[in-house]
Structure 1
Amino acid sequence: MAINSFISILEFHNSIPPNLELQRTRVSYASDAPMHTGNILYSGAYTEMGVDNSLCFDEFLKNFRVNVISLEEDEMEFDMIGIDASIANAFRRILIVELPTMVIEKVLIANNTSVVQDEVLSHRLGLFPFNVDPRLFEYMSKTDTPNEKNTIFFKLNAQCGRKGNCLTVKYNELKWLPNGSELEMGIELEAHAVKGLGKSHAKWSPVCTTWYRMPAEVMLLQEVKDEKAEELVKKFLVNVFDIEDIDKGRKREAVARLRLCTLCRECIRGDNKEKCVALRHVKDHFIFKIESARALPPEVLFTKVIKILEEKCERVITELT
């Protein structure tokens, strides 16, 4: 009996108590504010319990995984599980500002008698996304001469004639929609698209937007039945909860569509709601979405992001050794 008790004490000593494990891995939500939002990174945080909290690469490889939820021509949504928020944010930042694209940088206007000023026209041309693989081109420095290796040349010559004959300049002519005028109007210009990074100017960003969020974890702490269940389901527009039929015509509430949860916290507001529902976030699980600006497919963009982050880590390791 004494030996069994001693073994039980050792097993408890080498594990984290459930309440601390919940704080370590989850962000809990009360009706007024979230709790335990930070990550515990100190390796000796649980030393007294016999638990090593240091980062183990083998453990990371075992737990980390990526699940692709949807993949379209310009959008990609996937789950990254088993990483810290800082790494997820590094992916997002690299996607926005450190992947090159081809964008118009110089506009040489020979003639512009339209109602659109030269600087406005140049700005609009600079924001036009081109479906061009930037890996086929070189960066152009200030001393380089534009050539086919570092520049894409465009020319636009649009004439709408005299008053009453308005012309719509479409995307295949460098998209622009002019207004009519009584004067004879026209545009003749040459545009140079060069390779650049989003950290120099937002127009070079390869994504329309990219974001991530932690998925919600909704736990029913007790059964909600009949009228109370129907009342709770009707409160939500995103249909996170659903109704299940149980015996003798009775009904109860069930969590049906977790990915739709927006953390509005309506399910834990009100009298005794927090006793029925626990609302949490998983700290190492991220729903990541990439919306490409069409220069490259989103899956290619994310592959390049991983390579850039790997190069950054290698540079840091080299400088420290």
Structure 2
Amino acid sequence: MVDNIVHIEQDRVTNTVSNDYPDTSISNAFRRIMISEVPSVAAEQVYIFNNTSVIQDEVLAHRIGLIPLKIDPDLLNWVDNSVDESDKFTDANTVVMTLDVSCTKNPNAPKNSTDPKELYRNSSIYARDLKFEPQGNQLENFKNPIEPADPDILLAKLRPGQEISLRIHCVLGIGSDHAKFSPVSTASYRLLPTIDIIEPIRGDDAKKFQKCFPTGVIGINNGEAFVKDSRRDTVSREVLRHEEFNGKVKLGRKRNHFIFNVESTGAMSPEEIFFKSVRILKNKAEYLRNCPIGR
């Protein structure tokens, strides 16, 4: 089904999907599953022991909850909410992280400096200051480091005498329960644009024709325009405003060819998110196929 990965970065991937039986609902199902049904790990409970900063406890807990965490969701079980609170969180379903920082004056600060980063120690608290506290056999089970996807997310600013001490329980969840569990920041798709040059376009008209499209869509070879990469087209239809191109070009979209753009929050790779959405949709189809008729 996935016939080509057009562009891939650490947290972003663009790939094309085509099938013989075009149905936009299937592509939209992938998009919705990636946003709301692919599980990831995020902070669920924040236990604040001491917070003398200017940021309120609720706001601090909210900011921590929205930090994407690099934790493989397949290594954790779902929390059983039917059990008592004391037995709910275990090493099999919960990752514990702590934050213990206090701000003090820097005795070696440069004279006449006004930069808080030079005047004080721990003047700014970032996501990198969250420390993983392994429970049970987690050190052996978790092969990769447990850390925030972006270490430079600012959590709070402190001044001498202020401190923060807290403990976090991170659990599995899905985006339909809370946006903090959604592994994507954007997930979208569009139909592949088609540009058919009916009559040759040459000379100065070719250069003008090229400027009617985004960079890289139209190329010029031996003075004649040709379609170089229709995927880059934004379907602005600017070319239709010019009389000299009337009847020489036909614009459209390929109805069974979809271009997906998936941008991850950093919790997992975007290609992993897409393939997990395929697996979830397949499981849904299998469930419906095996359901007794009439239920």
Give the structure-1-normalised TM-score.
Answer: 0.72
Higher relative contact order (CA 8 A, sep 6+): 2
Alpha-carbon distance, 1:180 to partner = 5.2
Which residue does 1:172 correspond to in 2?
Answer: 128
Larger radius of gyration: 1
Change (3 A) 1:65 1:185: closer
Alpha-carbon distance, 1:65 to partner = 5.4
CA distance in 2, matches of 1:180, 1:172: 16
Q: Report the residue type matching 1:142 in the other structure.
A: N
> Is the strand fraction higher in 1 or 2?
2
Alpha-carbon distance, 1:192 to partner = 0.8
CA distance in 1, matches of 2:284, 2:205: 54
Q: Report the residue type matching 1:312 in the other structure.
A: K
CA distance in 1, matches of 2:155, 2:177: 28
1:153-178, Cα deviation, whole Å (9 max, x unpaired): 11111100369636222322135353
Identity value in percent: 34
Q: 3-state DSSP class of the match of 1:107?
A: strand
In the TM superposition, 1:215-230 aligns within 5 A as 215-230=192-207
Matched, 1:74 2:11: yes
Which residue does 1:138 correspond to in 2?
Answer: 77
Q: Structure 2: where are the runs of 5+ without partners?
A: 106-115, 131-152
Q: Is the 8 A contact 1:268 1:278 kept in 2?
A: no
Alpha-carbon distance, 1:231 to partner = 2.1
> Is the helix fraction higher in 1 or 2?
1
Alpha-carbon distance, 1:320 to partner = 5.9
Instruction: Say how many residue pairs are matched.
Output: 252
Q: Report the residue type matching 1:206 in the other structure.
A: P
Change (3 A) 1:93 1:253: same
Q: Structure 1: where are the runs of 5+ without partners?
A: 1-63, 246-250
Q: Is the 8 A contact 1:207 1:292 kept in 2?
A: yes
CA distance in 2, matches of 1:214, 1:253: 23
Q: 3-state DSSP class of the match of 2:286?
A: helix
RMSD of the alignment, in Å? 2.2
Q: Report the residue type matching 2:34 in the other structure.
A: L
Change (3 A) 1:305 1:114: same
Q: 3-state DSSP class of the match of 1:214?
A: strand
Which residue does 1:155 correspond to in 2?
Answer: 98
Alpha-carbon distance, 1:275 to partner = 1.0
CA distance in 2, matches of 1:214, 1:197: 28
CA distance in 2, matches of 1:230, 1:77: 29
Q: Is the 8 A contact 1:161 1:186 kept in 2?
A: no
Alpha-carbon distance, 1:269 to partner = 1.8
CA distance in 1, matches of 2:73, 2:176: 16
